[in-house]
Amino acid sequence: TQLLEQSPQFLSIQEGENLTVYCNSSSVFSSLQWYRQEPGEGPVLLVTVVTGGEVKKLKRLTFQFGDARKDSSLHITAAQPGDTGLYLCAGRPSDSNYQLIWGAGTKLIIKP
Amino acid sequence: NAGVMQNPRHLVRRRGQEARLRCSPMKGHSHVYWYRQLPEEGLKFMVYLQKENIIDESGMPKERFSAEFPKEGPSILRIQQVVRGDSAAYFCASSPGLAQDEQFFGPGTRLTVL
User: Mean pLDDT, 10 residues at a time, over chain B (114 residues)?
Assistant: 89 98 93 91 91 92 95 95 96 81 90 96
pLDDT class of A98 with cuts at 50, 70, 90:
confident
Mean pLDDT of all residues in A54-69? 96
Q: Do A41 and B108 touch (CB under 8 A)?
A: yes
Digit-coded pLDDT (tens) for A102-111? 999 999 999 9
Beta strands in B25-87, from DSSP E residues, in sequence order? 31-37, 43-50, 53-56, 65-68, 75-79
- Using CA coordinates, name the residue in chain A closest to B97: A98
B19-24: strand order across its sheet? B5-7, B19-24, B75-79, B65-68
Minimal Cα–Cα distance from B62 to chain A, Å? 19
What was the pLDDT predicted at A61?
97
HSE, side-chain direction, 13 A CA sphere, residue A38: 7
What was the pLDDT predicted at A108?
96
Digit-coded pLDDT (tens) for A7-61? 999 999 999 999 999 999 999 999 999 999 998 899 999 999 999 999 999 999 9
